[in-house]
Amino acid sequence: MDHDPLKEEPYLRSKLDEYDVDVPDFPIKTTRWNRFIHLLASPAKDPLDSIVSVKGGLMALKIVPAVGTAGLVTLHALFFL
């Protein structure tokens, strides 16, 4: 018989008892398609979060595509005209 180290910890036991889990209803089987849909629907980290949260980041986000496009147009003009 194992010694129960939690036996002498009634308060810790009561705290651990507070950790309930609600089990959702789900079938025994699923399809790969369902898994894919769940993956698509799950929230993911915003890749622009680190840019937007920095001061001036939002402005940079607006300007960078315009500057990039202008640069590409210039390159295009230099090489092909």
Q: Measure the CA–CA gap between 35 and 13, rounded to whole angstroms.
A: 37
Q: Under a CB-based contact definition with an 8 Å cutoff, are residues 61 and 52 in contact?
A: yes
Q: Which span sits near another protein by CB under 8 A: 4-12, 57-65, 73-81?
A: 4-12
Q: How far is the CB of 10 from another protein (least distance, A)?
A: 9
Residues 41-80 that bind another protein (CB under 8 A): 42-47
Nearest residue to 50 (alpha-carbon basis) of 41, 42, 61, 40: 61
The alpha carbon torsion through 56, 57, 61, 67 (nearest 10 deg) reads 50
Interface map 6-45 toward another protein (x if CB under 8 A): x--x-xxx-xx-xx-x-xx-xxxxx----x--xx--xxxx
Two tokens, residue 17: 């008892």
Binding site for another protein (CB under 8 A): 2, 5-6, 9, 11-13, 15-16, 18-19, 21, 23-24, 26-30, 35, 38-39, 42-47
